[in-house]
Amino acid sequence: MKNSLYSMTGFGSSYIERAGIKFQIQLRCVNQKGLRVNVKSKFSIGVLEKTARELIAKNIKRGNVDLFIEYTRTELSPDSMINQKMAKIVVDTYRSLISQNNLKDEIAISDIIRFPGIFDKEMITEFTDEESEVLIESVNKALELANKMRLNEGRATAEVLLGHLSSIEKFVEFAEKRSPVVVNNTQLKIKDRLAELESHLQNHELDQAIIEREVMIFADRSDISEETDRLNNHIKQFRDTVCAGGEAGKKLEFIAQEMLRETNTIASKGSDAEILTAAIESKLAIEKIKEQVANIE
């Protein structure tokens, strides 16, 4: 197998403490038709949320991704203890009220520090360059672990898919061998029915040329060679896609649906008990393939 498929299910976590800040990251991804990234944090991470989303989009192409971010500043200073941005907003708001309403009240420090969030150092969303690097490193580490899990599950799923594919190949081989027998049996049945009909006719003979033509038409309708050829081609496409790896989930879903279509047509046209029985096993294998493929990126 040249490359590998990736599962849409994965988990990764990281814990990095450096530059006076501690980040705890959890990344979980599950099935989703497209890519959906949810960044969840008790406190906002500001512009770094966009950076985190871009990192995920470069590594994961399909799935529902939840990124949980927790951070705590471990080294305290006057600047790190106070949310300076929020304090400025509070002061400006007080001054605006005093000015607009011609008040004589002065702004007291007690008015500022009692405001919720002033001393919530985690609410400060302006990170230093070094702190930003720690967050990016934390997200990358969680992504690396999640992708490793997705890769391992993808490889295991690929083996399962190829195992089910072999069941479909056996069905095609059987149908191809059985097809001439089915066509011959169809011809014999039609001839027998026409002979029976002719025996009931009085002083009338059926045109043998017409009989042979009708026999050939009915026999041709029971021929499944075109369907088996197409099914063989779908099987090859499926195997090649699995072995190529990468973002293959949607393509594999489409091919599986086409394999099911051809299997149903073969079972219907063949009108043969043995082919019908074999087709059931093939359809069960295809349904199992569809279940597995639904989790492939």
CA 141 to chain CA mean position, Å: 22
pLDDT at 125 over 60: no
What confidence score (pLDDT) does residue 227 get? 92
What confidence score (pLDDT) does residue 102 get? 72
Residue carrying the six token digits 């059985």: 178
What confidence score (pLDDT) does residue 223 get? 78
The C-alpha atoms of residue 22 and residue 226 are separated, in whole angstroms, by: 64
Contact 242, 162 (CB under 8 A): yes
| Residues β-bridged to residue 36 | 64
pTM over 0.85: no
What confidence score (pLDDT) does residue 199 get? 64
| Residues β-bridged to residue 137 | none
19-70 confidence digits (pLDDT tens): 888 999 999 999 988 899 999 988 778 888 999 999 999 999 999 999 999 9
Mean local confidence (pLDDT), 121-136: 76
High-pLDDT (> 70) share of the chain, %: 76
pLDDT at 219 over 90: no
Query: Where do the domains of the chain lie, and which CATH numbers do they carry?
Result: 10-76+124-150 (3.30.230.10), 84-113 (no CATH), 154-293 (1.20.120)
Mean local confidence (pLDDT), 168-177: 94
What confidence score (pLDDT) does residue 101 get? 76
pLDDT at 98 over 70: yes
| Mean pLDDT, the chain, whole residue set | 84
Of the pLDDT bands very low, low, confident and very high (cuts 50, 70, 90), residue 1 is very low
Q: Which one, of 3, 5, 60, 61, lies nearest residue 296 by Cα?
A: 5
Tokens describing residue 150: 């997705």
199 vs 5, higher pLDDT: 5
Mean local confidence (pLDDT), 204-224: 63
The C-alpha atoms of residue 260 and residue 279 are separated, in whole angstroms, by: 10
pLDDT at 105 over 60: yes
C-alpha distances out from residue 156 to 149, 239, 271, 283, Å? 11, 15, 37, 22
Of the pLDDT bands very low, low, confident and very high (cuts 50, 70, 90), residue 282 is very high
Mean local confidence (pLDDT), 7-24: 93
Mean local confidence (pLDDT), 80-105: 73
Our CA angle for 107, 110, 116, nearest 5°, is: 105
